[in-house]
Amino acid sequence: MQKVKIYTSPTCAYCEMAKDWFKEKKIKYKEVDVAKDPSAAAELIKESGQMGVPVIILGLGKDKKVITGFDQGKLEELLK
């Protein structure tokens, strides 16, 4: 199983949808709330090149995939 990290904020409806989807699929993930952690916000920008959430990181290192927004189709494709 790939490592999954989700950058979120408390007011983001798409973040909630993404977390619910991962829970439904029984896929564990690490949540990083950028509103609570300023260094995480800087990390988010470094990883994705943007400030919007959710940003979902699949995998580690050079093989990691960065998905901006909750793109269920792309997630399903990458997690096959």
| Domain boundaries of the chain, sorted by first residue | 4-78
For the cut 80, the answer to whether the pLDDT of residue 1 exceeds it is: no
Say if residues 2 and 79 touch (Cβ distance below 8 Å): yes
- Cα 7–Cα 24–Cα 18 angle in degrees, nearest 5: 25
Residue with more model confidence, 60 or 29: 29
pLDDT number for residue 60: 78
Cα(40)–Cα(63) distance, rounded to whole angstroms? Answer: 21
pTM summary value: 0.90
Yes or no: domain 4-78 corresponds to CATH 3.40.30.10 = yes
For the cut 70, the answer to whether the pLDDT of residue 6 exceeds it is: yes
Tell me what the mean pLDDT of segment 28-51 comes to.
91
pLDDT number for residue 50: 87
pLDDT number for residue 25: 93
- Token reading at 33: 């709330």
